[in-house]
Structures are given as structure tokens and as C-alpha cells.
Amino acid sequence: SVCELQVKSEGPKLVPFFKATCVYFVLWLPTSSPSWFSALIKCLPIFCLWVFLLAHGISFLGAHSSARRIQLFLFFSVIYDRNKNKSQKSDYLYNGLLMFAITHILYSSAFGMKPLNLWAGLVIAAASGLCYALLYSYLAGPFTYLVAVYIGLIGFMGWRAIAGVQLSDDLWTWTKLSACLGAVLFMVSDLTIAVNKFCFPVPHSRAIIMATYYAAQMLIALSAVECQDEDRPRKRV
């Protein structure tokens, strides 16, 4: 099938990402003593995803704005992860919220507003409201408002990714499903960060955060290949 052929063609291009991710978890460098080497090891899987999109060709990226936005987000992720090791904790939180708020806007624009799927939006809005209610009593100062805005933005991004999967109408593709799963994992990763930081220690929090973060980035990077799926039928006409 077309799906199997697409997966087989994209799989080898992701081998560097999987190897870099394995290196990160095998080395498991301590976060208490950040260094340029630990920053490199952490950034390497995301950089591999950036190269993965670049491997599809400059013409492909030039023709598809959604792929460019996703690649831009991956680039910002590398820069943010590198600078995170150099920042104080308070600066990291503020900068992190700002950086990922901007990039979730990029992701949302890449996923688009069609189909609208209001039911998915209502479910995500309810889940986002519950998450903020859980965090609210633990927040103080500017974070009371910043976290609310951030939850709203990542919830919106999740809605736009989930809205593209229309299983009942058989209008879904494997890349839309990748975007959906990636968005959900991103929300899980960020919720774990928030609960661990503001509420109470989450057991194995770092492993949960990084595993879901890398998986989310990979799945969303794969969703950019959807542009190629859409182009092929048009060329046959």
C-alpha cells in the first residue's frame, strides 16, 4: 500500500535520530552540572530531525509553508535547549514559556484551520481547563497568567492537530495521525514539566519528559511529509 511504501521510504532517514536519542538515554548525563557536551547530546536528536526535513530537498521546503514552519520550530528547539543549560532556573522558565508559546503558534499555523472539528476543540478546551485548575493553586505571580496563556496555546495546537484526523469519514492519512499523536505527547511532556515544577515531584519525571518530547518532535516532523502525499495524486491528473 501507499502507506507502507511511505513508511519504508522515510524510515531510513530517521535512523540518525533514533541513534542520537539512544545516545542521550544511554549516557544520561546529570542535569546538575550542565556543560557544552551535555547540551550537544540533548540537542542532537532534534538537530537530526531538522536534517531529516532538509533531506527532502530545498525545493520541497520552498514549496510547502507547513514544512518550513515545522523545520523553523525544530531549529528554535535546538537553540533553546542549548541556551537552557546556560540560563538560571527563573530565566529558563520565562524564556521557555515564551519560546515554546511562539513555536506552538507556528505548529498551529502549519496544521491549519481545516477541518474545524468543533467537538475536538471542546474536548481539548475542557482538558486544558482541568489542567489549569490542577495547577492554579500552586502558581504565584506572573506564572498565574503565563501558564494560563501557554496552556491555551498548546491546547489550540493540539486541537488543530487532532482535528485533521477524521476516522469516521475515512479522510485520514498516516501523517495526520502522526501530527495528532505528536501533539498529544507534547501536551503530556509539558504537563509533566508543569506538575513536577509547580505541584509535586513526579517519579521518573526526566525520563517521561524527554521520551515524550523526542517522540512528539519526531511524529510532528513526520507530519510535514503529508505535503508529498497530497501532491502525488495531483500529478497523475
Please state the pTM of the whole predicted model: 0.85
Write out the DSSP string of 186-229. Answer: HHHHHHHHHIIIII-PPTTHHHHHHHHHHHHHHHHHHHTTHHHH
Quote the radius of gyration of the chain (alpha carbons, Å): 18
Tens digit of each residue's pLDDT (9 = 90 or more) over 17-45: 999 999 999 999 988 777 889 888 999 99
More confident position, 39 or 15 = 15
Nine-digit cell at 195?
Answer: 506538575
d(CA 155, CA 159): 6
Calculate mean pLDDT across residues 80-106: 67
Residue 228 has pLDDT above 60, yes or no: no
Spatial neighbors of 109 by CB under 8 A, at least 6 apart, are 66, 69
Tens digit of each residue's pLDDT (9 = 90 or more) over 42-81: 999 999 998 898 887 666 565 566 677 777 777 767 766 6
Amino acid letter, residue 31: T
Residue 232, pLDDT score: 45
